Structure 1
Amino acid sequence: MINGQRVIFLDRMQVDLEAYDFDDAAPTATEILMRTEFSAISSGTELALLSNNQDIGHWQGEPYPAHPGYAAVGRVIACGAQVEGLSEGDRVFAPCGHAQYHRVDTGKTPVVKVPDGVAAEDAVYVRFCAVSMTTLRTTRARPGDGVAVFGLGIIGAMAAQVFQASGYEVVGVDLEEHRRQRALACGLRLASSPDGLVDLWREALGDVPCRLVVDTSGAVEAMRSATELADTGAEIVLVGVPWKSSQAMSASELLQAIFSKYLHVRSGWEWEIPTLPAQFAQGSVLQNMQHAMQLMARGQLAVAPLRSHLVPPSEAAAVYKGLLEDKETYHSAVFDWTGV
């Protein structure tokens, strides 16, 4: 055993950094042991877990204590005999939490080697790219079609860049000016508020139809704008979790829009495809993460404008508080474990 540290949610709205014992026994054939360098907060998921005040969604009554996080980059410190393509000392991404050490089974979990030229604190954002990349694989929309991405938080800003890099005509949509500006700073060509969306679309894209709406916001309000913008027969894919109920749009209003425009509304659940490559499967989560890493290596995805805070895990409580209460200043935060 070796001593490590990890972030813990002790109870609702209670964040701490705790010591723990990490089992550093030799890895099994398909396992690696990893020492974390950086881990990124997934704001939507982790703040829902911490605040636990949603009236719908899949974290009602979440038990505490809980260990958050699912995006980490670190160095391989031991490698099983059957692990392919990785060696001790390699820098890798793995969907692991905010902890100093991890044991990862590569036979079950996607692990991606970080190429030279991609900074570790950037590579960790591969996890957020993958959330929307299942939709990229399963959509009927094709390159050259118009895509609207609603919500320009971390997931949405990365989704907009991924679709743009894949040849789609993309418009990012968000109520908040500061989010739109960050997405534009990443290289997104077009961003709009919901109010000006139709006019901007026509001015910038002309008669290019919106064949796909990717909603990462989980907000009912976004559905009204989405159904207005979407072309006849288009897809609306729900990537964001609707954490809270809303009366902003009635079910009958939504159903009428779906029926009259022949819209296809579906879940964008990223895990509908296999985790690892499989015969006859339409891609895998691992392949999505690998492709996102290559896009970063080629300079087609930008991360730095999104990251507002790079801090040691000892500042976890303050960072989560900021993400909850000061969303204009705290946009995306990454823990730096290199000094722990």
Structure 2
Amino acid sequence: MKSKTIVFTDQQKCEVLDEQVSNPNPDDILVRTVVSLTSTGTESFCYRGVFDTDTGWSSWVNYPFYPGYSAVGEIVEVGSNVSSLKVGDRVYTGANHKELHLTKPENVVKLPDTISYEAAAWSTLATITQTAVRRAEHTMGDTAVVIGLGPLGQLVTQYLRTIGLGNILVIDTIPKRLATATRFGATATFNGIAADAGKFVSEQTEGQLADVVYDVTGHWQVFPTALPLARDFGRLILLGDSPEPSKQRLTQDILTRQVTVIGTHNTRLQPEYAYWTRNRQIELFYKYIERKIFHVEDLITHRYQPNQAPEVYEQFLHDRSQTLGVLFDWR
């Protein structure tokens, strides 16, 4: 059978292709995608195709490249050995942007009846950000700074509100994103760049600066300007992964003020947090939605048909300032 599939066939070239999909093996399930959420920053970098050599980016992105990792859909076939799932089950798969895909039962999470497809499409980004917040090891009443209020920054802000921080200071250059973050947890906003935010953070913290700073931008220019916003012995969480890390510059804050830099990636946690697997983090995320602690459908700004993908990624390349959640609707 054929499946419509979004493919980056070359650097800055996107096509929607019909690709062959096999029938399920006895241990497989076949899922028809309903919606898939774009990771606008990551997928823009993959589409742009400019990376330092010998990095995770350069080894991961090889053309043809299949973007996306936030799909949800409905099971349409199950293999003869599969007993835990059935045709018609609604599942999160975390698959690429494609109409049909084969996977194993252990790779999916069944959706509760109370969780919509569009909310569940945020599951991948919710685990990435939940992992980052766990790595920060906050204590009640902490002050945090979040730099970059795209989809990931918005989710970090909501997690910080949920765990009870005293101050959540957010930094971005786009007023609409600042307003959204305020609606869902930010206590103060700065319209500008991190390099100019020192006075703002100092005034908001009575000169103490932030216990934790999150760099959620993925831009190498931000890293050295984020470090001075952390207090002595504070922490900087590097959640945005720059495709050009050779340009990132360390500052004396790491040595003289002993600011700790913590990198965080996907759902990888240190052994003491091994209980919080990807699936358990997703289940907790769903509980937060059910309890109306988390609001992700409100973050969706654009919905497109898959055949619009070439125009969507070209727009991402030139200007994604007005986007937050961008969905492909496969129905």
TM-score, length basis structure 1: 0.85
**1:298 aligned partner:** 291
* CA shift for structure 1 position 7: 0.6
**1:52 aligned partner:** 49
Query: Taking structure 1 as reference, are residues 195 and 305 closer, same or farther at Cα in structure 2, changes over 3 Å only?
Result: farther
Deviations along 1:281-325, one digit per CA (max 9) or x if unpaired, are 252222222212221222222224432211110111111111121
User: SS at the partner of 2:128?
Assistant: helix
User: SS at the partner of 1:144?
Assistant: coil
Counterpart contact for 1:3–1:22, Cα < 8 Å? yes
Matched residue type, 2:325: S
Task: Indicate which of 257, 264, 274 corresponds to 2:260.
Answer: 264
Counterpart contact for 1:210–1:229, Cα < 8 Å? yes
Question: Is 1:78 aligned to residue 77 of structure 2?
Answer: yes
Task: Indicate which of 112, 126, 130 corresponds to 1:129.
Answer: 126
Task: Indicate which of 182, 185, 192 corresponds to 1:184.
Answer: 182
* CA shift for structure 1 position 189: 3.8
**Matched residues, number:** 325
Matched residue type, 2:173: L
**1:228 aligned partner:** 228
Matches within 5 A, 1:88-103: 88-103=87-102
For residues 130 and 39 of structure 1, the distance between their equivalents in structure 2, rounded to whole angstroms, comes to 16
**2:274 aligned partner:** 281
User: SS at the partner of 2:20?
Assistant: strand
For residues 307 and 111 of structure 2, the distance between their equivalents in structure 1, rounded to whole angstroms, comes to 26
**1:307 aligned partner:** 300
Stretch deviating more after TM superposition (237-246 or 42-51): 237-246
Stretch deviating more after TM superposition (217-226 or 42-51): 217-226
User: SS at the partner of 1:74?
Assistant: strand
Counterpart contact for 2:29–2:75, Cα < 8 Å? yes
* CA shift for structure 1 position 142: 1.8
Counterpart contact for 2:195–2:222, Cα < 8 Å? no
For residues 195 and 46 of structure 2, the distance between their equivalents in structure 1, rounded to whole angstroms, comes to 31
Deviations along 1:120-164, one digit per CA (max 9) or x if unpaired, are 122201211111211222333223212222211111111111222
Deviations along 1:237-276, one digit per CA (max 9) or x if unpaired, are 21111123586x754xx1x2111212111211234239xx
Query: Taking structure 1 as reference, are residues 331 and 325 closer, same or farther at Cα in structure 2, changes over 3 Å only?
Result: farther
Deviations along 1:209-233, one digit per CA (max 9) or x if unpaired, are 6222221112344334432221221
For residues 281 and 303 of structure 1, the distance between their equivalents in structure 2, rounded to whole angstroms, comes to 26
**2:145 aligned partner:** 148
Query: Taking structure 1 as reference, are residues 138 and 15 closer, same or farther at Cα in structure 2, changes over 3 Å only?
Result: same
Question: Is 1:16 aligned to residue 21 of structure 2?
Answer: no
Counterpart contact for 2:288–2:294, Cα < 8 Å? yes
**1:7 aligned partner:** 6
* CA shift for structure 1 position 83: 5.5
User: SS at the partner of 2:232?
Assistant: coil
User: SS at the partner of 1:157?
Assistant: helix
Query: Taking structure 1 as reference, are residues 68 and 195 closer, same or farther at Cα in structure 2, changes over 3 Å only?
Result: closer
Query: Taking structure 1 as reference, are residues 146 and 87 closer, same or farther at Cα in structure 2, changes over 3 Å only?
Result: farther
Deviations along 1:20-78, one digit per CA (max 9) or x if unpaired, are 121123540xx432110000111122111111023464333843212111000111223
Counterpart contact for 1:186–1:303, Cα < 8 Å? no
**2:62 aligned partner:** 63
CA RMSD of aligned residues (A): 2.7
For residues 198 and 279 of structure 1, the distance between their equivalents in structure 2, rounded to whole angstroms, comes to 34
Query: Taking structure 1 as reference, are residues 280 and 8 closer, same or farther at Cα in structure 2, changes over 3 Å only?
Result: closer
For residues 304 and 146 of structure 2, the distance between their equivalents in structure 1, rounded to whole angstroms, comes to 29
Query: Taking structure 1 as reference, are residues 119 and 173 closer, same or farther at Cα in structure 2, changes over 3 Å only?
Result: same
Counterpart contact for 1:212–1:236, Cα < 8 Å? yes
Query: Taking structure 1 as reference, are residues 250 and 238 closer, same or farther at Cα in structure 2, changes over 3 Å only?
Result: closer
For residues 87 and 201 of structure 1, the distance between their equivalents in structure 2, rounded to whole angstroms, comes to 52
User: SS at the partner of 2:69?
Assistant: coil
